[in-house]
Structure 1
């Protein structure tokens, strides 16, 4: 991970909020043959005391599933909007252009769960992302035979997070005038650039406290 003090936040709640806002992760691991594997899954983030857990499910008998069975050490990558930043927007033009982005890396130990754990997770996942208590797609509203059949093809897991790192690279190392100009320039670009501009605007008081 790109680890520079400028691009960190001291607010741990901001990091957790970012994870909740971007729950579709890349889950990376290494097989018993030292082959890298990665899969993409939505996760639930739970805080239990001072520990953080990620909960999800994957299909059985896949390369990544076999890898996680052999080696439970995994890395979950949470990603947000990102955009190009031109050095022409800085007060000092003799600088390198760059890329603004936010990401959180959560390392941890993956543990597969039993059928009760699987039912609990698919129920919570559906409720969380449906956001509609009347939805016919909620697990408890589906036929039991269908749910039972579906569960045979998937397996649930939870990851106990053992290390949490982040990069919020949002031009915090620039002077205030350049920072404001970057926001203005991004406001005329695509949707991801506009999103980064809005994040920078909201964080400005933290970067340049009065």
Structure 2
């Protein structure tokens, strides 16, 4: 990772909150010839000070088979990002850059039995679909669930290492930071707006 102390968020609660807000994460591991990856929604849990990631994937895919052979995985949570012009700095005689927020979680993946898989699927469904809509998990036909559960497998990742980059122009003077925020807001796109808002929360 592109890590510097001034780009690192030290508050673990803020890092976990970012992960929850950007839970459609990329899980990568080692395949036989090339790295493998899958991007899926995750449930982020904190239990006794430890972070766990839960979800489910299709059985017998390249990533499922690879994760079974090597249970060490890297999970990437990515957030807003945008170009920042050096012309916005008090001293523009340096290179332009890119501001962004990302979290890398490393850990070991373990697969669940059928009961655990069912709970993992229900948890994700309840979180996003709710429990009262027509598409709620508890309203699905038993025949459909029985068929589905044979094709997927739930998993749990115990996070052993958590790294982050909250690159928000912390290395620039306050006047430059304020001007960057103003210029990003002028753009009008969501990515620039979210970075501007993240920068504003860090102004003294």
Shorter-chain TM-score tier? over 0.9
Aligned to 2:121: 122
User: In the alignment, is residue 148 of structure 1 matched against residue 153 of structure 2?
Assistant: no
Aligned to 2:192: 193
Instruction: For residue 47 of structure 1, report the CA deviation from its aligned partner.
Output: 1.0
Partners of 1:34 and 1:112 lie apart in 2 by: 23
Give TM-score, length-normalised by structure 2: 0.97
Partners of 1:2 and 1:14 lie apart in 2 by: 19
Structure 2 contact 30–36 (Cα < 8 Å) conserved: yes
Aligned to 1:161: 159
Partners of 2:197 and 2:46 lie apart in 1 by: 28
Deviations 1:141-173 (A, max 9, x none): 111111111111111100000000000000010
Partners of 1:71 and 1:107 lie apart in 2 by: 13
Tell me the C-alpha RMSD between the 2 structures.
0.9
Instruction: For residue 35 of structure 1, report the CA deviation from its aligned partner.
Output: 2.0
Partners of 2:190 and 2:47 lie apart in 1 by: 36
Instruction: For residue 34 of structure 1, report the CA deviation from its aligned partner.
Output: 4.7
Partners of 2:154 and 2:26 lie apart in 1 by: 16
Aligned to 2:25: 25
Aligned to 2:133: 135
Partners of 1:27 and 1:55 lie apart in 2 by: 11
User: In the alignment, is residue 63 of structure 1 matched against residue 62 of structure 2?
Assistant: yes
Partners of 1:43 and 1:75 lie apart in 2 by: 13
Aligned to 1:41: 40
Structure 1 moving runs of 4+ over 3 Å:
none
Give TM-score, length-normalised by structure 1: 0.94
SS in 1 for 2:154: strand
* Range moving further from structure 2, 71-80 or 146-155: 146-155
User: In the alignment, is residue 104 of structure 1 matched against residue 103 of structure 2?
Assistant: yes
Structure 2 contact 131–138 (Cα < 8 Å) conserved: no
Unaligned runs of 5+ residues in structure 1 are: none
Instruction: For residue 127 of structure 1, report the CA deviation from its aligned partner.
Output: 0.7
Instruction: For residue 17 of structure 1, report the CA deviation from its aligned partner.
Output: 0.5
Aligned to 1:74: 73
Structure 2 contact 131–137 (Cα < 8 Å) conserved: no
Unaligned runs of 5+ residues in structure 2 are: none
Partners of 2:57 and 2:117 lie apart in 1 by: 10
